Chains A and B, each alone.
Chain A
């Protein structure tokens, strides 16, 4: 019996709704329309209850900490996040009765701050000039000052982050496509998705090429992605895992996210645009070589998380 027939849709807790996301063919983009030998699929991580791929890592890290006795009554979960992980912690925290405190750069988009607050999380802001690395340093200072008060999951160093994708994302892709799968394409942020999924896909007896997408330049607009050469490199990142690194410009990622809404009915964020842009490039290379390919990429989150604030909402305190 297939998983679709056995999967229970009645759940006891919202956290059980994380994962087992749909895999959807992108067949209307002009580069792919009418192709039968080369297929591109998007794994709809935006269908997770917190609205992003980050639900997976957050759940794995939180459940592991509870099991190890490091998180519970009297302990606050604190972490740095540029948004989606914060939403995930906040949602899971509310569902499990945990206290959540988030540190994010002030220039994170307004909808993400509001969503996290709606779940009851507290937010502390760090210097927008310092980016996500500034938020990391700020959290480390707070935790050093009061280590007993806090549980710091540290998504950049926590092996449960990639483990969520090894056990979940990677396995689900194999369940859906089996040996048809030829490529996996995903952006590097914490690198958890690329590390965990690629490790699982490299275990199978047929070749799966795993491609990591990164912003071409240090100063970029692909929120959530890291330009590794100019960044604090996450401890969970192992440069030997991806088979290839594919740089994408901000403009190409942004344009593809606009096109996905109009041409595929997928309203996604900019990192997804970059992922799909890279996947389409690989598809075109396979077509040019006359190779069959089934390429899976990741739709990380929805586009409405990135709506710009109105002018009267724009105010930054320096």
Chain B
């Protein structure tokens, strides 16, 4: 089992086109993003600024926005699915 991260189309240029990236083990959403960065450098900077998740990006753990959980400290376990969703519908392939 692993944690699955769903990648939106505008970020797939950084993940060699992958729609989903598996993270072997991590205990928080923040740690997942760190491991994502280690696998695909550049991702973290697109997602986070110095205050946390960028305002126009939603990170979902399952079907809940992590802003309504514990943010980057939200606990994750094997089998969880994390989705990175632009807050808008604007047009990237």
Residues of A in contact with B (beta carbons under 8 Å apart): 82-83, 104-105, 107-108, 128-135, 189, 215, 217-227, 230-232, 250-251, 254, 311, 314-318
> Known interface pairs A227-B92, A231-B91, A250-B56. Does A217 touch B46 (Cβ–Cβ under 8 Å)?
yes
Q: How far is the CB of A277 from chain B (nearest CB, A)?
A: 15
**20 A–B contacts, CB within 8 A, in A order:** A107-B87, A107-B88, A108-B88, A129-B6, A129-B19, A129-B85, A131-B9, A131-B90, A133-B91, A189-B90, A215-B90, A217-B10, A219-B57, A220-B86, A221-B57, A226-B92, A227-B10, A311-B68, A314-B65, A316-B63
With the chains together, A311 CA to B63 CA distance in Å? 12
With the chains together, A226 CA to B90 CA distance in Å? 6
Contacts of A82 in B (CB 8 A): 88-91
With the chains together, A230 CA to B8 CA distance in Å? 12
> Known interface pairs A230-B93, A254-B56. Does A221 touch B63 (Cβ–Cβ under 8 Å)?
no
Question: B91 touching A107 by the CB < 8 A rule?
Answer: no
Question: Closest chain A residue to B62 by CB distance?
Answer: A318
- Dominant secondary structure at the A interface: loop
> Known interface pairs A254-B56, A316-B60. Does A223 touch B65 (Cβ–Cβ under 8 Å)?
no
Q: How far is the CB of A237 from chain B (nearest CB, A)?
A: 11
Q: How far is the CB of A123 from chain B (nearest CB, A)?
A: 13
Question: B56 touching A231 by the CB < 8 A rule?
Answer: no
How many A-B residue pairs lie within 8 Å, measured between CB atoms? 116
> Known interface pairs A129-B8, A131-B8, A311-B68. Does A222 touch B88 (Cβ–Cβ under 8 Å)?
yes
With the chains together, A221 CA to B57 CA distance in Å? 8
With the chains together, A221 CA to B11 CA distance in Å? 13
Which of B7, B9, B11, B68 is in CB contact (< 8 Å) with A314?
B68
Asked if B35 is at the interface (CB within 8 A of a chain A CB), the reply is no
Contacts of A107 in B (CB 8 A): 58, 85-89
Q: How far is the CB of B20 from chain A (nearest CB, A)?
A: 10
Known: A82-B91, A107-B85, A314-B68. 15 other contacts (CB 8 A): A107-B86, A108-B88, A128-B85, A129-B6, A129-B7, A134-B9, A219-B10, A220-B56, A220-B92, A225-B91, A227-B91, A230-B93, A231-B92, A254-B55, A314-B65
Asked if B40 is at the interface (CB within 8 A of a chain A CB), the reply is no
Contacts of A220 in B (CB 8 A): 10, 56, 86, 88, 90, 92
> Which residue of A218, A227, A254 has the most chain B CB atoms within 10 A of its CB atom?
A218
Question: B56 touching A218 by the CB < 8 A rule?
Answer: no
With the chains together, A314 CA to B92 CA distance in Å? 23
Contacts of A226 in B (CB 8 A): 90-92
Question: A83 touching B89 by the CB < 8 A rule?
Answer: yes
